[in-house]
Amino acid sequence: MQIDLNGRRALVTGAGSGIGAAIARALGASGADVAVHYANSKTGADDVVDELTGLGRRAVAIGGDLTDPAQASATVAAAVAHLGGLDILVTNAGHLVGRATVAEMSDAHWAQVMAVNVSSTFFVTRAAVPHLTDSPAGRVVLMSSLAAENGGGAGSVAYAAAKAAIVGFGRGLAKELAGAGVTVNALAPGFIGDTAFHNTFTPAQAQQGIVSGIPLQRAGTVDDVAGVSVFLASGLSSYVTGQVIDINGGMNFR
């Protein structure tokens, strides 16, 4: 068996850096044409597009604030216009925003975490659904987190709740879209090293402690997540829907 995404058209959100960029690259390397969404990382998104066009793929960088429903719809419309349709949606955009305990958390912090992670996913998915149901093999890959299962690290209650909401959203959506042949699954990465996320929010000593407790004895990589994404976007996963795929080196078992 071989994964071949030639002719498939994908939109990856939050793809200007880190996990999202790796997913966009992996989809392109497997043959897909890719719309690379970014919020702030325009230079990174342009670099990904250059790599993909160098492989002979159609690719475009699209900026937008997905917490705004109008911009989310415009992002999908731009992707469809450039690629000629949409077969694969990967909703990677999201953010911890900052660490805060429930006792000290402001209303604004809670709302921002929910907007960046949950509302953005809903808005872009809603806009993409009519195009995905027109595809002969529509795929939705949502980004959850190990935090949805274990509550996350200190000060990440809002983030854990948001990522748990992604799981519920995905399972409900999987039921809604099954009749159209569209599969919906979520990824739940654990500790993925050398990313802006952990370099910003997890001190180096804490990162070392986390890695020492991982059964596979290493941090995950962005390519570990990208590989599973490509599988879920391909025909090899055509009978897999409503699932959460853990990518955590054995840190946690469901």
Domain boundaries along the sequence of the chain? 9-245
Which pLDDT band holds residue 253 (cuts at 50, 70, 90)?
A: confident
Instruction: Work out the average pLDDT over 14-31.
Output: 98
Determine the 3-state secondary structure of 29 from DSSP.
helix
> Across-strand partners of 88?
10, 139
User: What CATH superfamily classification does 9-245 receive?
Assistant: NAD(P)-binding Rossmann-like Domain (3.40.50.720)
How large is the greatest C-alpha to C-alpha distance in the chain, in angstroms?
A: 52
Whether the per-residue pLDDT at 164 is higher than 90: the answer is: yes
Q: What is the pLDDT of residue 96?
A: 94
Question: What end-to-end distance do the CA atoms of the chain give, in Å?
Answer: 28
Query: Residues of 118-131 as b/e, b for ≥16 C-beta within 10 angstroms?
Result: bbbbbbbbebbbeb
pLDDT of residue 212: 83
The reported pLDDT for the residue numbered 199 is 66
Burial class (CB in 10 A: 0-12, 13-18, 19+), 226: buried
Confidence band (pLDDT; 50, 70, 90) for 1?
low
Q: Which residue from 43, 77, 87, 73 is spatially nearest to 61, judged by alpha carbons?
A: 43
55, exposed or middle or buried, with CB in 10 Å at 0-12, 13-18, 19+? exposed
Residue 206's identity, in one-letter code, is A
pTM of the shown model = 0.95
pLDDT attached to residue 254: 76
> Tell me: the pLDDT tens digits for 90-146?
999 999 999 999 999 999 999 999 999 999 999 999 999 999 999 999 999 999 999
In terms of Cα–Cα distance, which of 34, 203, 131 is closest to 24? 34
- Cβ–Cβ under 8 Å, residues 85 and 131: yes
pLDDT at 241 over 70: yes
Q: pLDDT above 90 covers what percent of the chain?
A: 87
How far apart, in whole angstroms, are the C-alpha atoms of residue 146 and residue 31?
29
Confidence class for position 198, pLDDT limits 50, 70, 90 = low
Candidate list 38, 123, 159, 201, residue with the active-site label: 159
Annotation marks residue 38 as catalytic: no
Confidence of residue 197 (pLDDT cuts 50, 70, 90): low
Task: Provide mean pLDDT across the span 40-51.
Answer: 97
204 pLDDT higher than 80? no
Q: Which of 156, 95, 91 is nearest to 124 (CA)?
A: 91
Q: Is the pLDDT of residue 226 over 80?
A: yes
Please check the confidence at residue 252 and state whether its pLDDT lies above 90: no
- What does pLDDT average to over the chain? 95
80's enclosing H/E stretch is: helix 69-83
pLDDT at residue 229, as a whole number? 98
